[in-house]
Amino acid sequence: MRIKIITSNAGKMREYAQALEGLGLEAFQGSVPYDEIQADTLEEVVGHGMRDLMLKEDSFIIDDSGLFIDHLNGFPGVYSAYVLKTLGNQGVLKLVEGVSERDARFECCIGCKLPGKEPFIVSASCEGFILDAPRGEGGFGFDPIFSSDGVRSFSELDMGEKNAISHRGLAVKKLAERIESEGSL
Ligand code: IMP
């Protein structure tokens, strides 16, 4: 089955292609504009986007993700894309400069609509820490400043390693279980 990932984020797209490959799903990138509201949770953002997209498409996956930093009461969270664009990773590091409490987590919320099936949402998170300085060349977004094991940043993992533990990798596993249980594969 081929499934359209509606995203403009090339990094996300690469991760979906790899994570879905082994599940008999072929991911391809689509760019369909849809309503992205500002809301308190990723689930609300995804739910609203899905309702809008279902007027135009009969199958798709959308993904809304964010970095939630404990010391900042969960900021940037749902504002992650804007914060990355405006402050960048250096700006985020400035916000936690000298702070010893560096716990953070990535969250990923996936909205999925398959042909003839009810839409559904799955979510997963990955706990970790904000590093003192960016490290590594791989990945995208906040990957250089986030580490789940406190040793290597997400940028220093290859994609298979990241998918095995990341918020998106875990959410894709839930997605696959859900699709399998509905007999769509
Ligand atoms: P959105 O889901 O596209 O709104 O993403 C929110 C922000 O978080 C974007 O700036 C992404 O680049 C970033 N982001 C989402 N997922 C990841 C990830 O797996 N690693 C690093 N940054 C991410």
Overall average pLDDT of the 114-131 stretch: 96
| Cβ of 125 less than 6 Å from ligand 1 | no
pTM: 0.96
Ligand 1 pocket, mutate which of 5, 6, 8, 9 (most atoms under 8 A from CB) = 9
CB 139 within 8 A of CB 90: no
* Confidence (pLDDT) at 24: 78
Name residue 52's amino acid: D
* Confidence (pLDDT) at 51: 97
CA separation for the pair 162, 155 (Å, rounded): 9
With a cut of 70, say whether residue 115 has pLDDT above it.
yes
* Confidence (pLDDT) at 185: 52
CA separation for the pair 64, 174 (Å, rounded): 15
| Cβ of 84 less than 6 Å from ligand 1 | yes
64, 70, 103, 158: the catalytic one is 64
Tens digit of each residue's pLDDT (9 = 90 or more) over 2-59:
899 999 999 999 999 998 887 778 999 999 999 999 999 999 999 999 999 999 999 9
| Cβ of 66 less than 6 Å from ligand 1 | yes
* Confidence (pLDDT) at 184: 59
Better-scored residue on pLDDT, 183 or 84: 84
Q: What residue ranges define each of the domains in the chain, with the CATH number in brackets? A: 2-181 (3.90.950.10)
With a cut of 80, say whether residue 183 has pLDDT above it.
no
Judge whether 64 counts as a catalytic residue. Answer: yes
With a cut of 60, say whether residue 89 has pLDDT above it.
yes
DSSP track, the chain: -EEEEE-S-HHHHHHHHHHHHTTT-EEEEE---------SSHHHHHHHHHHHHTTT-SSEEEEEEEEEEGGGTT-BGGGHHHHHHHTHHHHHHHHTTT-S--EEEEEEEEEEE-TTS--EEEEEEEEEEE-SS---SSS-TTGGGEESSSSSBGGGS-HHHHHHHSHHHHHHHHHHHHHHHTT--
Tens digit of each residue's pLDDT (9 = 90 or more) over 140-177:
999 999 999 989 999 999 999 999 999 999 999 999 89
